[in-house]
Amino acid sequence: MSFQKPNKVSSMTEALKKLEKYCAYQERSHKQVYQKCRDYGLTEDEANQILIELISSNFLNEQRFAEAYVQGKFKIKSWGKQKIVHGLNNAGVSKKLIENSMEKIDPKVYLQTLISLAEKKRTTLKIGTEFEKTIKIQRYLLSKGYKYDEISEALKLQD
Q: Is the pLDDT of residue 102 over 70?
A: yes
Sequence letter at residue 141 = L
Q: Is the pLDDT of residue 142 over 80?
A: yes
Sorting pLDDT into bands at 50, 70 and 90, what band is 8?
confident
Q: What is the mean pLDDT of the chain?
A: 91
Distance CA 105, CA 110 (A): 7
For the entire predicted model, the pTM comes to 0.87
Q: Is the pLDDT of residue 56 over 90?
A: yes
Q: What is the mean pLDDT of residues 55-72?
A: 95
Q: Is the pLDDT of residue 7 over 80?
A: no
- Residue-level pLDDT at 127: 87
